[in-house]
Amino acid sequence: MKENLNDLRAFLMVAQTGSFTKAGAQMGVSASALSHAIRAIEERLQIKLFHRTTRSISLTGAGEQLYAELSPLFEAVDASIDHLGSFRNTLRGSLRINGNSHAFAHVLRDKLQAFIGAHPEVEMELVSELRFVDIVAERFDAGIRLDGDVAKDMVAVRISPPLYLRVVGSPDYFARHGVPQQPDDLAAHACHSTRLPTSGGVLSWEFRHPESGAKVLFAPQGRVLANSSEVLKNLTLAGQGLVWLFDEIVRQELDSGALVSVLDDWAMRYDGYYLYYPNRRMNSPLLKALVAALRE
């Protein structure tokens, strides 16, 4: 019995997203229609592929085996179709990239816009979030991460210059509360930060000792937590505390004098952003073109 390829793609999508709703949204069909299609496959195969509860679904042992065998086959088919673009002297296909708003909106903005403009037949999905994701499990073609801290089976290419994070506040705030001279002094200030999406903890501020080079961590104690750098910046512009943000996010305000950077000799320097992807995808024409466009 031969299965319809569209049905098998539907199975892969549900397995990858772990949700009929999410898979249906990506495929442009309703969750109920997708659930019905999966049940039909199970009935034809006479094998249960998913465990279902009212809140979640997960693969059975048979489902895991089918997924492990089908995934590389469909990836190979997609790659073969992508390679046909060389005969048309153009790139065609889609790319899903996971990163964060700082990388997309500030550091890589011009490079990404140039890539999109140069390849009108390439569809791009840029997913911005704070958490680290498993790009393979969540169907991303590539991810963007600071300092290239990625798994060994990934290819990592540096795509940005070194980056700095700065502690900033308004002149009015410093006039009222004084200027910290070292990280320990920050304990006396309202330091607003971000809650980590994975662990639930609060993002620690990182510094580099100006003499020894040792990393120094500070746990902020501000009253406000926000996962948006713009929200944190606006809070600081209003004179309501200090924040720790990438230089690019506050560069305009620093140049205008609306914000002031402190502890600059302690500022943490990072190697830069890296684009990373599975080594089995290293021959993808789309990824090669993206790497060429973003490479530092």
CATH code where residue 278 lies: 3.40.190.10
Give domain status of residue 171, yes or no: yes
Residues 20 and 117 in one domain: no
Residues 281 and 241 in one domain: no
Give domain status of residue 29, yes or no: yes
Give domain status of residue 80, yes or no: no
Give domain status of residue 82, yes or no: no
Structural domains counted in the chain: 3
Residues 258 and 120 in one domain: no
Q: What is the pTM of this model?
A: 0.73
Give domain status of residue 216, yes or no: yes
Residues 144 and 263 in one domain: no
Q: Which domain holds residue 179?
A: 163-270
Residues 126 and 170 in one domain: no
Side chain identity at 233, as an amino acid letter? Answer: K
Q: What dihedral angle (degrees, nearest 10) is formed by the CA atoms of 287, 291, 292, 296?
A: 180
Domain at 24, CATH number: 1.10.10.10
Residues 44 and 116 in one domain: no
Residues 155 and 177 in one domain: no
Give domain status of residue 84, yes or no: no
DSSP-assigned letters across all residues of 115-126:
HHHH-TTEEEEE
Give domain status of residue 75, yes or no: no
Q: What is the pLDDT of residue 1?
A: 46
Number of H helices, E strands in the chain: 10, 13
Residues 189 and 248 in one domain: yes
23 neighbors 13 (Cβ within 8 angstroms): yes
Per-residue pLDDT of the chain (296 residues; tens, 9 = 90+): 455 778 888 888 888 888 888 888 888 888 888 888 888 888 888 999 999 887 788 899 999 899 888 888 877 777 676 666 666 667 788 899 999 999 999 999 999 999 999 999 898 999 988 888 888 877 788 999 987 667 777 889 999 999 999 999 999 999 999 999 999 999 999 999 998 877 778 999 999 999 999 999 999 988 899 989 999 999 999 999 999 999 999 999 999 999 999 999 999 999 999 999 988 777 788 889 999 999 86
DSSP-assigned letters across all residues of 230-275:
HHHHHHHHTTS-BEEEEHHHHHHHHHHTSSEEE-GGGBEEE--EEE
246 neighbors 102 (Cβ within 8 angstroms): yes
Residues 119 and 150 in one domain: yes
Q: What is the pLDDT of residue 167?
A: 97
Q: Tell me 187's DSSP state.
A: G
Residues 37 and 96 in one domain: no
Give domain status of residue 124, yes or no: yes
Residues 203 and 61 in one domain: no
